[in-house]
């Protein structure tokens, strides 16, 4: 079984991803800018990434799962903490079970990450899942 790393995913904004999404939600550019997870170096090493190696990962929890590209964080070490851009990909993992304030946990997503062989999840797959 592939090594699994438990993380809390915090979503964030990015100007390049935002611009791509405004032009088209269905473009390869928007997919490439959105379908990413930024992981701590130590966590990436646990998943088997060698220096400079591109890795795709499965990010899953009770709500759903997506395959995205893994990127190395440039920030101070933050094992167990991961970042994703706010997008249809990150929202596949956000629960609609809300707290008293009724705000979904967009910035506190508990998930498990493992190395993946599959292709990055396409927007058409996300649409099909929503349609059910």
Partner 1 sequence: MAICTGCSLLCEDIEAAEKDGALTHVKNLCRKGHGHFQAAFTERTVPMIDGEQVDLDRAITKAAEILKSAKSPLLYGWSNSTLEAQAVGIELAEKLGATIDDTSSSCQGILMERILSGKLPTCTLDDVRNYADTSIFWGSDPSSSHPRHLSRFSYYPRGEKRQKSYEEERTCIAVDVRKSATANLCPNYYFQVAPSGDAQFMEAILAVLEGKIPRVGDKKKMIGLGSILKKTEWGVIFAGLGMVYSLQEKMDLFEKLLARLNEITTFKVVPMVGHYNMRGFNELLLEKTGFINRVSFKDGKPAHGPEHSVVAAAKTCDAALIIGSDPFSALPFGTARALAKVPLIAIDPRRSLTTDGAKVVIPSALSGLEAGGTGVRMDGVKIKFEPIMKSDLPTDEQILTRIMEAI
Alpha helices in the chain (DSSP H): 15-23, 28-34, 41-46, 88-91, 123-131
Residue 79 is encoded by which pair of tokens?
């094992």
Name the segment binding partner 1 (CB under 8 A); options: 43-51, 52-60, 105-113, 114-122.
105-113
Name the segment binding partner 1 (CB under 8 A); options: 41-49, 50-58, 100-108, 114-122.
100-108
Backbone angles phi, psi at 128, to 5 degrees: -65, -40
Residue 18: how many other CB atoms lie within 10 Å: 16
Q: Of the candidates 56, 69, 71, 106, which one interacts with partner 1 according to CB under 8 A?
A: 106
> Smallest distance, Å, CB 71 to partner 1?
13
d(CA 131, CA 88): 14
Residues 24-53 interacting with partner 1 (rule: CB under 8 A): 24-26
Residues 54-73 interacting with partner 1 (rule: CB under 8 A): 63-64
> Smallest distance, Å, CB 130 to partner 1?
5
Q: Give the pairing of strands 81-85 and 4-12.
A: parallel
Backbone angles phi, psi at 84, to 5 degrees: -130, 150
Enumerate binding residues for partner 1 (CB under 8 A).
8, 10, 12-16, 18-26, 63-64, 75-76, 78, 81, 83, 86-88, 91-108, 123, 126-127, 129-132
């Amino acid at each position: 079984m592939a090594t699994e790393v438990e993380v809390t995913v915090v979503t964030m904004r990015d100007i390049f991803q935002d611009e791509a999404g405004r032009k088209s939600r269905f473009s390869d550019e928007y997919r490439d800018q959105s379908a990413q997870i930024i992981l701590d170096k130590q966590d990436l090493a646990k998943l088997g990434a060698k220096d400079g190696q591109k890795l795709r990962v499965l990010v899953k929890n009770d709500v759903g799962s997506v395959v995205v590209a893994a990127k190395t964080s440039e920030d101070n070490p933050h094992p167990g903490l991961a970042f994703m851009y706010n997008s249809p990909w990150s929202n596949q993992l956000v629960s609609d079970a809300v707290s008293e304030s009724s705000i979904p946990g967009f910035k506190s997503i508990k998930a498990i990450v493992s190395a993946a062989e599959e292709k990055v999840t396409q927007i058409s797959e996300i649409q099909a899942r929503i349609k059910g």
